[in-house]
Amino acid sequence: MIRILANDGIADNGKQLLEEAGFAVDTTKIPQAELMTRLNDYDAIIVRSATKVRKDLIDASPNLKAILRGGVGIDNIDHEYAESKGIPTYNTPAASSQAVAELVFGHFFALSRFLHRSNRELTSADGDFNKLKKAYAGGQQLRGRTLAVIGFGRIGIAIGRIALGLGMKVLPVDPYKTKETVKLDFADGRSVDFDFDMVTLDEAISQADYITVNVPGGDLIGAEEIARMKDGVIIANTSRGGVINEDALLEALNSGKVAGAGLDVFVGEPNPRRDLLEHPRVSATPHIGAATEEAQDNIGVELFEKIRDHFGKQ
C-alpha cells in the first residue's frame, strides 16, 4: 500500500478520496527535525508552507516517490534537485485562485475605507464615535480607479475579473505572455470577454491607484519602483514576503507616498516585524490567502488527482 504523509494537513475530502482509492494517509505532524529519520517510511509527502523539503531531506529519503504542495508556490521545496533524482513535485495552482483574489480586495476595501483602523478604535474603551466619524470620512471608492496586476496567471486573472466587475481599469503585467482574455460571467448566464495586452512594470506602477503583486518570489519592488508610483497608491501583497522590500515599503508608508499596504505575507514568517504589523497604514493577515473552506476542498481534490495519476503510472 502506498503511504502518504500529509505533514501540513489535508482537507477531509482529499483524505477521504485518497483512502477510498486505496492509499494510506497519515496526517500526524512530524517536526521538521525528525523528518530526516522518518520520511523514508512514506512514498509521498504533502506539504503547504510550513514543512521544507530540501536537498538533505531528499537524500535521506530514497523511498520517496513524489512531493506535493497544497498551494501554488513551491519555494519551500528543492524541486529541481528532486526532479534530478527522479522525484517529481506537484502543486495545486488552480484551487485557491478565487480565495486569494477575494482577500486582495478585502485588503483594498479595508484600506480604502479605513476599516482596519476604525473597527479596532471604535470598539476600544475610549473610542469616540463622533471623533472617529470625522477622522475616517475621507475614504475612496474603487470604481473608476486603475489597478496594476503584477503577475497575470490564474490568481492575477481572478483579481482582474473582480476588478472589471467593480468598474476598474486593469493594467496586467506578465513577462511570460503578451496577451490574455478574461471572461466575466454574469448570474443570468451572459458572459463577456475582455482582451488585454500586457504592459511593462514601469507603465503599470506609474499609472496605478492600486497595485497587487502575484508572483512566486523574487525581489521585485524596492525604493526605485515605489518612487515611480503615484502618491497615495495602495498596494497588496499576497504572494511571497520579500517581493516588496519591507524597508522601502515602511519608509513609503511613513512618508505617505504609499497610502496603504495590505500584507498577507512577510519576510520573517511566522514572526513578522512589528513596525509593519502595527503601522496604521497596514492591513495585515497571517498568510491566509488560500484559507477558505472552498479553496481547501479544491486543493484536496487536486492533490488526490495528482497522486492518483502519478501512482497509477507506476
One of 80, 83, 269, 294 is an active-site residue; which one?
A: 269
Overall average pLDDT of the 12-29 stretch: 96
Angstrom distances, CA of residue 36 to CA of 10, 62, 137: 21, 11, 56
pLDDT at residue 94 is higher than 50: yes
Same-domain check for residues 130 and 16:
no
Residue whose C-alpha cell is 517536526: 31
Provide the pLDDT confidence category of residue 150 given band limits of 50, 70 and 90: very high
One of 116, 240, 279, 281 is an active-site residue; which one?
A: 240
Secondary structure (3-state) at 201: helix
Same-domain check for residues 224 and 277:
yes
pLDDT at residue 313 is higher than 90: no
Q: What's the total number of domains in the chain?
A: 2
Same-domain check for residues 224 and 185:
yes
Domain coverage including residue 134: 97-284
Same-domain check for residues 34 and 167:
no
241, 219 contact by CB (below 8 A): no
Provide the pLDDT confidence category of residue 110 given band limits of 50, 70 and 90: very high
Angstrom distances, CA of residue 248 to CA of 223, 263, 292: 5, 14, 31
Q: What single DSSP character describes residue 181? A: E
pLDDT at residue 270 is higher than 80: yes
Secondary structure (3-state) at 23: coil
Provide the pLDDT confidence category of residue 101 given band limits of 50, 70 and 90: very high
Same-domain check for residues 213 and 113:
yes
Same-domain check for residues 196 and 74:
no
Provide the pLDDT confidence category of residue 216 given band limits of 50, 70 and 90: confident
- Say whether 269 is catalytic: yes
pLDDT in tens, 229-252: 999 999 999 999 999 999 999 999
Same-domain check for residues 24 and 173:
no
Provide the pLDDT confidence category of residue 93 given band limits of 50, 70 and 90: confident
Same-domain check for residues 84 and 104:
no
Mutual angle of helices 115-122 and 97-112, in 10-degree steps: 60
Overall average pLDDT of the 100-121 stretch: 96
Provide the pLDDT confidence category of residue 314 given band limits of 50, 70 and 90: very low
- Say whether 287 is catalytic: yes
Backbone angles phi, psi at 90, to 5 degrees: -120, 145
- Please give the Cα distance from 284 to 231 (Å, whole number): 21
- Please give the Cα distance from 307 to 22 (Å, whole number): 11
| pLDDT > 70: percent of the chain | 99
Q: Is the full-model pTM beyond 0.85? A: yes
State the average pLDDT for the chain. 95
Same-domain check for residues 194 and 299:
no
Note the pLDDT of residue 99: 96
- Please give the Cα distance from 115 to 108 (Å, whole number): 10
Overall average pLDDT of the 264-278 stretch: 95
Note the pLDDT of residue 217: 85
**Secondary structure, 3-state, 220-267:** CECHHHHHCCCCCEEEEECCCCCCECHHHHHHHHHHCCEEEEEECCCC
Same-domain check for residues 152 and 185:
yes
- Please give the Cα distance from 303 to 135 (Å, whole number): 48
pLDDT at residue 168 is higher than 80: yes
Overall average pLDDT of the 98-127 stretch: 94
Note the pLDDT of residue 312: 83
Provide the pLDDT confidence category of residue 127 given band limits of 50, 70 and 90: confident
Provide the pLDDT confidence category of residue 55 given band limits of 50, 70 and 90: very high
Same-domain check for residues 30 and 151:
no
Same-domain check for residues 44 and 108:
no
- Of the candidates 293, 296, 306, the residue with the CA atom closest to the CA atom of residue 18: 306
Q: What is the CATH number of the domain that holds 103?
A: 3.40.50.720
Here the cell at position 305 is 488527482
- Please give the Cα distance from 302 to 90 (Å, whole number): 10
One of 107, 279, 287, 302 is an active-site residue; which one?
A: 287
Peptide bond into 270 cis (omega under 30): yes
209, 147 contact by CB (below 8 A): yes
- Of the candidates 67, 21, 59, the residue with the CA atom closest to the CA atom of residue 43: 67
